[in-house]
Chains A and B, each alone.
Chain A
């Protein structure tokens, strides 16, 4: 069977897109890596866990309930590694349905086909390298959020929280609420940056109030907040024991640090869609028209993976993508699309937050020469600059020169810093060094589970030519 619409990613955009498409009468399949839909922001706690419900949980539960009732085929716990069909056909052949190959939750591989594909792949976290960032005890801010909200576990006894954007204060507040101790908050943004964001934030009084509560909590707990500052080193033998901020040293057993969110574009890059570099959207993003179409026919993108705007704006974008897909497939839609005022406000607020979380060039410039940039392959900054001097002009060439970005994370963690360092070394804009060509497998998968029963003996070998 060929589905009408496949949705890749079950966060707020993906859940809403699949629900809307199913309501429109399409045969819909949703593929999600986690055991339950929700994405990172609305991640459901494991079965049997009960936590105090917060507003995020309620919004996530509402989207999950609508999806479950929509009739869409929901496949969670599956790891999508292969992309094919669509534009990925030999020259001269007609475009085929999109095909997505995955490893199911039960470990059994499967492939689905769909006439249209909506990418709702979300983001991963940007962490600009600094000395000691590879020490155990250093984790991302988003990682800390998952630990706190979905697992009910504190990252440490004494925690330093550092980086940029609203997650910083959310994580610090969660640690305090969970009975942990926050040693310091190190905010890369200056008070002036927060002031500039204020007009856009005031469109969402609920968020402003939430932010004020978080800040008040830090004040009451007498947590030092260093504004316009950054971590200069994580220190410790075997594991983290201290965090250095210039001359100040904070004893800590965990450092939660993050510098913003990067759209996950590996699927749209693999399908060779057109991309643009927009720092205010989080970096490289697929170029979309006003109705969420990418440059590839029947391929759409929505949510933070198409430009960081936050969870409040994502469901409406997902619904719009679904309606556009159905329209393009020839479905007759019974209700017109409506853009509500709340969505516009959410987008403005999201944009202000995204600007604060954009890549900070000064932070990249401050990375010492011997600090590792590509953690998988152990490539330090000095190697990247050596490669640039030797003629590596693009990220793809940098891979060939240094193996930077060729390890198991496939450049997701280092790509942004490596691009900025290469651009700086060459004296060009970061957009000019480009992005790594999208390649399958999208995620590492065990060879055995892809091959199945296929063995060497099954490889067709032509008869040898007579001598």
Chain B
């Protein structure tokens, strides 16, 4: 079952890569939402095993969802999807 709710009109999908693996996304979706929809909850290993990187507040406050997009450090929840983005762990 897709986690994308039906009866929502979205722009045509594009492809990004997450650690080299192609992932489908719609332009304008937040990177954090796309990763959740792809079942990719664990964004990175963080500083120790009790505190992995993941989406948590979704509004730019908690700073737990840090990732690199094309090498640049970003908050996944505040980063809109653009075709071709290459996502790697922070």
How many A-B pairs with Cβ below 8 Å?
A: 125
- Where chain B touches its partner, the secondary structure class is loop
* Pairs across A and B, CB under 8 Å, 23 listed: A33-B78, A47-B11, A49-B8, A50-B9, A136-B42, A140-B57, A140-B58, A143-B56, A143-B57, A143-B58, A146-B58, A146-B59, A147-B58, A151-B29, A151-B33, A152-B5, A156-B3, A179-B6, A378-B47, A408-B63, A409-B62, A412-B61, A446-B73
Give the Cβ gap from B87 to chain A, nearest Cβ, in Å: 15
- B-side contacts of A413, CB under 8 Å: 57, 61-62
**Which range contains the number of A residues in contact with the other chain?**
35 or more
Give the Cβ gap from B46 to chain A, nearest Cβ, in Å: 9
> Do A153 and B47 touch across chains, with their CB atoms under 8 A apart?
no
Using CB atoms, name the residue of chain B closest to A156.
B3
> Which residue, of B8, B43, B78, has the highest number of chain A Cβ atoms within 10 A?
B8
> Do B64 and A375 touch across chains, with their CB atoms under 8 A apart?
yes
Q: With A and B bound together, what is the CA distance between A251 and B60 in angstroms?
A: 29
Using CB atoms, name the residue of chain A closest to B81.
A46
Select which of B5, B41, B52, B63 is within 8 A of A153 by beta carbon: B5
Using CB atoms, name the residue of chain B closest to A410.
B63
Q: With A and B bound together, what is the CA distance between A114 and B26 in angstroms?
A: 39
- A-side contacts of B50, CB under 8 Å: 134, 372, 378
Interface residues of A in 222-270 (CB under 8 A from B): 238-240
- A-side contacts of B22, CB under 8 Å: none
- A-side contacts of B41, CB under 8 Å: 136-137, 239-240
Q: Taking the complex as formed, is A361 at the interface, i.e. its CB lies under 8 A from any CB of chain B?
A: no
Q: Taking the complex as formed, is A391 at the interface, i.e. its CB lies under 8 A from any CB of chain B?
A: no
Q: Taking the complex as formed, is A154 at the interface, i.e. its CB lies under 8 A from any CB of chain B?
A: yes
> Do A139 and B58 touch across chains, with their CB atoms under 8 A apart?
yes
Q: With A and B bound together, what is the CA distance between A165 and B61 in angstroms?
A: 21
Q: Taking the complex as formed, is A155 at the interface, i.e. its CB lies under 8 A from any CB of chain B?
A: yes
Give the Cβ gap from B18 to chain A, nearest Cβ, in Å: 14
Q: Taking the complex as formed, is B28 at the interface, i.e. its CB lies under 8 A from any CB of chain A?
A: yes
> Do A157 and B58 touch across chains, with their CB atoms under 8 A apart?
no
Q: With A and B bound together, what is the CA distance between A10 and B78 in angstroms?
A: 16
Select which of A156, A178, A372, A375 is within 8 A of B62 by beta carbon: A375
Using CB atoms, name the residue of chain B closest to A374.
B51
- B-side contacts of A134, CB under 8 Å: 50-52
- B-side contacts of A148, CB under 8 Å: 5
Q: Mark B14-49, 1 if CB is under 8 A from A, else 0.
A: 000000000000111110010011000111000110
Select which of B10, B54, B78 is within 8 A of A152 by beta carbon: B10
Q: Taking the complex as formed, is B80 at the interface, i.e. its CB lies under 8 A from any CB of chain A?
A: yes
> Do A153 and B58 touch across chains, with their CB atoms under 8 A apart?
no
Give the Cβ gap from B11 to chain A, nearest Cβ, in Å: 4
Q: Taking the complex as formed, is A85 at the interface, i.e. its CB lies under 8 A from any CB of chain B?
A: no
> Do B3 and A142 touch across chains, with their CB atoms under 8 A apart?
no
B residues contacting the other copy or chain, number (CB 8 A): 41
Give the Cβ gap from B29 to chain A, nearest Cβ, in Å: 6
- Where chain A touches its partner, the secondary structure class is loop
Given known contacts A140-B58, A378-B50, A409-B61, A153 and B28 CB-to-CB distance under 8 angstroms: no
User: Which 8 residue pairs across A and B have the least CB separation, nearest first?
Assistant: A46-B28, A143-B58, A136-B41, A152-B8, A136-B54, A50-B9, A48-B11, A408-B63
Q: Taking the complex as formed, is B55 at the interface, i.e. its CB lies under 8 A from any CB of chain A?
A: yes
Q: With A and B bound together, what is the CA distance between A186 and B15 in angstroms?
A: 38
Q: Taking the complex as formed, is A51 at the interface, i.e. its CB lies under 8 A from any CB of chain B?
A: yes
Interface residues of B in 62-81 (CB under 8 A from A): 62-64, 66, 73, 78, 80
- B-side contacts of A446, CB under 8 Å: 73
Give the Cβ gap from A33 to chain B, nearest Cβ, in Å: 6
Give the Cβ gap from B64 to chain A, nearest Cβ, in Å: 7
Select which of A50, A138, A154, A156 is within 8 A of B5 by beta carbon: A154
Using CB atoms, name the residue of chain B closest to A258.
B57
- B-side contacts of A33, CB under 8 Å: 60, 78
Q: Mark A36-52, 1 if CB is under 8 A from B, else 0.
A: 00001000001111111
11 new A-B contacts, CB < 8 A, other than A48-B9, A147-B33, A372-B51, are A48-B26, A49-B8, A51-B8, A136-B55, A139-B56, A140-B58, A146-B58, A152-B5, A375-B62, A408-B63, A409-B61
Q: With A and B bound together, what is the CA distance between A161 and B29 in angstroms?
A: 23
- B-side contacts of A360, CB under 8 Å: none
Q: Taking the complex as formed, is A125 at the interface, i.e. its CB lies under 8 A from any CB of chain B?
A: yes
Using CB atoms, name the residue of chain A closest to B32.
A147
Using CB atoms, name the residue of chain B closest to A47.
B28
